[in-house]
Amino acid sequence: MTTQDLRDDEPEALHELAIELERKARARSIPDVPVGVMSCKDVDVYYGKFRAVTGVNLEFGRNEITALIGPSGCGKSTLLRSLNRMNDLVDGARVDGDVLFMGEDIYRKGVDPIEVRRRIGMVFQKPNPFPKSIYDNIAYGPRVTGMKVDSMDDLVEEALTKAVLWDEVKDKLKQSAFGLSGGQQQRLCIARTIAVKPDVILMDEPCSALDPIATMRIEDLMQELRQDYTIVIVTHNMQQAARVADRTAFFTALADKGTGDRTGVLVEFGRTTQIFEDPRDQRTEDYISGRFG
């Protein structure tokens, strides 16, 4: 290890500490009951006849980060996709129950799914930038949604700055987004989502394709974004949930005795500190301590 490394290490440790302190501080500041921007009321999601998720009741608090955790196949992604009607793109997918956004059921007749997705953005597991320039990736959303923009350049800069990517790309905005690293691409996708100014951002394992450093940057970024947005994140990484989320929902899959179909259910939902330090349900405790899942 060189002295250079040592010097680089130190601020990082400090930085980690700062985040930890910030998290503790935040954990105290959120209300006991989330002030809901979005909520699920008895939500079931089906793929054809197969019921993937059932009976979910959740409240996503304003300016909070909610983590959805649970073993593979318990329907986290399915539920997340039903929050902004991305499931509409899947043949045979259907949602029962109410998904409320600012009090309105987004599945009600007459609701335009396009408008829903503009207000409730989504970041995917694998970075999926468009095969266009960095600039055009950001400008895409505002353009297609017909946003009134005074200066697209400013909007692009703002979105990239918020996504902590501006300094790295400001000299190559016209270059293809495919030239960026995986972590940069994921931040670009987040910037792209921010550019349409949604109210809620859904993230499906946004860091699973990234190395620890890129992951840390995205986590920092989420803390920043939390000031302005409501965030729902699916993650398999327990530490990540503990680090970033204000509240955590734990899901598991129950096998139907007749058909053997495994259907996801919500086991426990609460403050992240409570879920991790004092889980009420044995299954939660088993999962978090690594005995299950």
State the residues that interact with Mg ion by CB under 5 A.
Answer: 77
Give residues 158-177 in contact with ligand ATP (rule: CB under 6 A).
none
| Closest CB to other proteins among residues 192, 283 | 192
Count Cα atoms within 13 angstroms, Cβ side, for 197: 10
Position among 54, 78, 84, 284 found at the interface with ligand ATP (CB under 6 A): 78
What's the rounded Cα separation, in Å, for the pair 59 and 249?
10
Q: Judged by CB under 6 A, does residue 54 bind ligand ATP?
A: no
What's phi and psi for 13, nearest 5 deg?
-65, -45
Least distance in angstroms from the C-beta of 95 to Mg ion: 17
Choose among ligand ATP, other proteins, Mg ion, none what residue 279 binds, the Cβ cut-off being 5 to 8 Å by kind: none
Distances (CA, A) of 120 to 196, 204, 228, 269: 10, 13, 13, 22
Choose among Mg ion, ligand ATP, other proteins, none what residue 130 binds, the Cβ cut-off being 5 to 8 Å by kind: other proteins
Residue 94: strand, helix, or coil: strand
Q: How many helices (H) and strands (E) does the chain have?
A: 11, 10
Residue ranges of E strands in 131-283 = 200-204, 230-234, 247-255, 262-271
Strands 247-255 and 262-271 turn out to be: antiparallel
Q: What residues have CB less than 8 Å from 13, skipping those under 6 apart?
A: none
- Contact characters 54-93, other proteins, x per CB under 8 A: ------------------------------x-x--x-x--
| Closest CB to ligand ATP among residues 196, 202 | 202
Specify the stretch interacting with ligand ATP by CB under 6 A; choose among 3-11, 72-80, 182-190, 277-285. Answer: 72-80
Q: Judged by CB under 6 A, does residue 124 bind ligand ATP?
A: no
Q: What is the DSSP string of 144-181?
A: HTT---S-HHHHHHHHHHHTT-HHHHTT-TTSBGGGS-
Q: Judged by CB under 8 A, does residue 48 bind other proteins?
A: no
- Binding positions for other proteins, rule: CB under 8 A: 84, 86, 89, 91, 114-115, 117-118, 121-122, 124, 126, 128-132, 140-141, 144-145, 178, 189, 192-193, 196
